[in-house]
Structure 1
C-alpha cells in the first residue's frame, strides 16, 4: 500500500488500509493488480478523476494543421511555410497543404502540381505522404 504522501507502507491488511483511508477522509484505490498482491493507494478519488479527465482533454487537441498556398507563391513565403511544417511534423502533428487556384490560375494547373511535388520532396526527411491528390491539389503529410 502507498499512503497519501507517496510513502510505501508495505503489505497491509485490506481492512486496516480501509480504516486508515477513512481516518484521513480519503479513498483507497487499487492502482495495479499484481500477481502476488495488488498495489493500493490512498488518494482523493474525485481529484484523481478530475486530473485524468483534464489530461485526456489536452491530448484531444486537433493534430491536422492546414497550409493554403497559391501557385505563384514567393520564395520567402514558401520557405516560411516549409519551416512551419517541419516544426509541426517534429511535434507530431500532421500537415495538410492545399493549393488554391482562382480565375485564370486554372490554366497553370501543371505548375501547381509541380509546386505540390516540391513541397512533398522538401518535407521528405521529416514526414511521409499520407495522401497526394493532384486533381484537387491537396497533400496530407504525417510525421515520419
Structure 2
C-alpha cells in the first residue's frame, strides 16, 4: 500500500485546476496561479483532492487541519476492542440468549468478545457444568466468530470475528 502525499500550494504543476472553494462551491476550471492567489488571500491552502482526467481537482482548505483529522480517523479505526461478558453457571435461558445476541452484534462490528464464567462458593464443585456452558457459548457463536482461545481451567473463551 503506497501512501501518496497530496500536492499543496506551489507543488501543483498543472496549469489549470477544477477549484472547489472554502465554502464548498464549485468554481470550475481556473488557472492554478489564480487559485493560489485566492487561497493566499483567505490564508488557507490549495490542496489537490484528486487527479481528474483533464485537470486535477483542488480544494481551498486548511491543510494542517486536514492532516490532523486524517490522523485522528486512522487512530480510531486501528484499535480493535475486546468486550468482556461475565457469566455465572446457573444463568437463566433469557439472560443467556441476551448475552449471545449482544456478542453477535459486537462480533459483526469487528470487536472481539471474551467470555468469563465466575464461580462462587459451592459452584466450584460443578466446574464441569461451567465448562459445558462455555462450549455451548462457543458453539452458538461459531457462525459469526471463531474461537481464539478456550480455556476450561480458567473458564474463559476469547472469540474473534470470522
| 2:97 match | 79
Deviation of the 1:73 alpha carbon: 1.1
Go from structure 1 to structure 2 and tell me whether the alpha carbon gap of 1:10 and 1:135 turns closer, same or farther (over 3 Å shift): farther
In the alignment, the residues of structure 2 paired with residue 66 and residue 74 of structure 1 have an alpha-carbon distance, to the nearest angstrom, of 19
| 1:90 match | 108
In the alignment, the residues of structure 2 paired with residue 71 and residue 6 of structure 1 have an alpha-carbon distance, to the nearest angstrom, of 62
Deviates more, 1:67-76 or 1:15-24: 15-24
What SS does the aligned partner of 1:29 have? strand
| 1:107 match | 125
Deviation of the 1:93 alpha carbon: 1.3
1:7-28 CA-partner distances (Å, limit 9, x unpaired): 3755855x55433321232112
Deviates more, 1:46-55 or 1:132-141: 46-55
| 1:135 match | 153
Q: Does 1:7 align with 2:23?
A: no
Go from structure 1 to structure 2 and tell me whether the alpha carbon gap of 1:17 and 1:141 turns closer, same or farther (over 3 Å shift): same
Deviation of the 1:116 alpha carbon: 0.5
In the alignment, the residues of structure 2 paired with residue 137 and residue 11 of structure 1 have an alpha-carbon distance, to the nearest angstrom, of 67
In the alignment, the residues of structure 2 paired with residue 38 and residue 92 of structure 1 have an alpha-carbon distance, to the nearest angstrom, of 36
Contact 2:107 2:113 in 1 (8 A): yes
Q: Which structure 2 residue ranges, 5 or more long, are not aligned?
A: 1-16
Q: TM-score, normalised by structure 2?
A: 0.71
In the alignment, the residues of structure 2 paired with residue 46 and residue 97 of structure 1 have an alpha-carbon distance, to the nearest angstrom, of 43
Structural RMSD (CA) = 2.8
Deviation of the 1:46 alpha carbon: 3.4
In the alignment, the residues of structure 1 paired with residue 88 and residue 147 of structure 2 have an alpha-carbon distance, to the nearest angstrom, of 20
Match among 18, 29, 47 for residue 47 of structure 2:
29
In the alignment, the residues of structure 1 paired with residue 70 and residue 64 of structure 2 have an alpha-carbon distance, to the nearest angstrom, of 10
- Displacement over 6 Å in runs of 4+: none
